[in-house]
Amino acid sequence: MISSAARTLAGAGRARSALRLATGASRVSLVAVVMANNDAAIHRTCARRPHRCLRALVRWSLPLAAICAVASLAPASALADGDPASDVLLTAPAFVPADTGASTAQQAGLQALLDASAKAGFPIRVAIVPDAYDLGSVGELWAKPRTYAQFLGIELSLVYRGTLLVVMPNGVGVYRARHSTASAYARLDKLTIGAGGAGLLTAAQTAVDQLAQQAGVKLPVASAATANGGSSGGGDTALAVVVAGLVVVAVVGGVVATRRRRGTGTRPPRAPQPPRAKATSVGGFPAWMQYAVPGSALVLVIVVGVFVVAFGVRHVAASASASASSVSPSGAESTPILWPSGRQAAPNFSLSDQNGQPVSVAAYRGHPVIVTFIDPLCRENCPLAAQVLSRADRELSPAQRAPILAVSVDVYGNARSHLVQDYTKWHLVPQWRWAVGNPKALASVWKRYYAEVAVVTKHIAGITVHYITHSEMAYVVDPSGYERALLPWPYTAAELKHAIQDVTPA
């Protein structure tokens, strides 16, 4: 429904409204409309039949909960706080980036050890950091495991306050809120870290075991992990699905039980009762309001519960995708927005690429162009989107390959070292060109292409970190300089290829 509305608005030329419908704001509006309609229905029921008020609240809260679940799982804007580990460790006990180089069996061994530690009463979360790249925008903390452990621990403190372990090639860091770590560092003083991913994971397992022993907890041997030991993401996802199912079953069961109590058989006749006066007020308030507090609490519990479960499922899925080897979004259903030829001119801009050379849309007149918006320091959706764009271009014939102009959405991540590093890490095609500039120039481009960018700056443990939320999308511009397609993330290489082929002269 949201995508259809977005396409309709886009066809009418109201691109800003169309793009906003594809973001989180639309979900809030949809829920608000449903709540308003439900509130009217509940009010009528409670006013006319107070004894059925609670049943009405349950009945009308189910559709709202379902809509909240669907809305929570819908595609949204990309969020990048510049510190990948903090995103993953919100829900998972281990952060092991794809470039660690550790085998699946080694990762399963670490996972099994962390699961056993939690069951034994010593929960601990571990961040493996094999390279400065995996620190995102806080690369200044590379080779400083102790400082980074403090920084990461404070970032996670609203959700997790247990023991945190950071493992880098040059050492380890330990943090626990409001606890001294002096004894922990003394315990790990002679820990050695071997080369490569295997060395990092082995050191992590040894450190976890040592810290558990210090806390009086005996853990099983890490090698006892089974070969098919799953990651915490799968376990959390399964748990979330189970919890969601139990919530729905419990609510539906309550409704069914209430209806069944009404019965279908014959009942003994009741003695005539004198007509009751209609209760118009209770303590000076309408009678139906006596049900408002418990009823509202029930609706709130159901809605919040569904949101929490849906967020957990979505966050775990996003974390798993970020470390997956496949560059195509699994099961993605992109809904491209299309314009006819000559309808909507692509705004031109003048920025600089990674080599300091001018880059603009107008310079490619006569050729199709892809314009996208990427954070050079992002380590989740942006690298996936960049790889999908590159894959689409590789699969086209040389004559059809379109230049990719990647406009930066992070004014703090435009150093040439970051831009060049992404070429290697993201396996970008030669025709990929970054488009960077001063904050004012970039903001002007974002505005004209309706790319929403929000930045929140925080200072944690003496380190400045920028939380950036931005629209994740790609435009296809035809050889005449007109926008022909807009693909919101997640999109696929096949969709991009099709959009480019449609505007490429035969």
> Of 127-131, 328-332, 403-407, 460-464, where does mean pLDDT reach its minimum?
328-332
pLDDT at 460: 86
Q: Look at residue 139 and tell me whether its pLDDT is greater than 80.
A: yes
* Tokens 């102009």 -> residue: 405
Closest CA to 77 of 455, 331, 346, 425: 455
Whole-number Å distance between alpha carbons of 183 and 196? 28
Whole-number Å distance between alpha carbons of 343 and 52? 55
For the chain, which residues make up each domain, given as ranges?
A: 2-76+235-257+290-322, 93-230, 337-503
Q: What does the pLDDT look like over 434-475, one tens digit per residue?
A: 999 999 999 999 999 999 999 988 888 888 888 899 999 999
pLDDT at 466: 86
pLDDT at 83: 82
DSSP 325-389: S--SPTT-----EE--TTSSBPPP--EE-TTS-EE-SGGGTTS-EEEEEE-TT--SHHHHHHHHH
Q: Look at residue 171 and tell me whether its pLDDT is greater than 70.
A: yes
DSSP 22-41: TSHHHHHHHHHHHHHHHHHH
User: In the CATH hierarchy, which fold is given to the domain comprising 93-230?
Assistant: Diaminopimelate Epimerase; Chain A, domain 1 (3.10.310)
**192 to 132, 201, 448, 474: CA distances (angstroms):** 20, 12, 54, 46
Can you tell me whether residue 497 is helix, strand or coil?
helix
Q: What does the pLDDT look like over 342-351, one tens digit per residue?
A: 999 999 999 9
Rg (CA), the chain: 28
Assigned token pair, 114: 């962390």
Q: What confidence tier does 219 reach under pLDDT thresholds 50, 70, 90?
A: confident
- Residue 330, burial from CB neighbour count under 10 angstroms (0-12, 13-18, 19+): exposed
User: In the CATH hierarchy, which fold is given to the domain comprising 337-503?
Assistant: Glutaredoxin (3.40.30)
Whole-number Å distance between alpha carbons of 83 and 85? 6
Arithmetic mean of pLDDT over the chain: 76
The answer to whether domain 93-230 and domain 337-503 are alike in fold is no
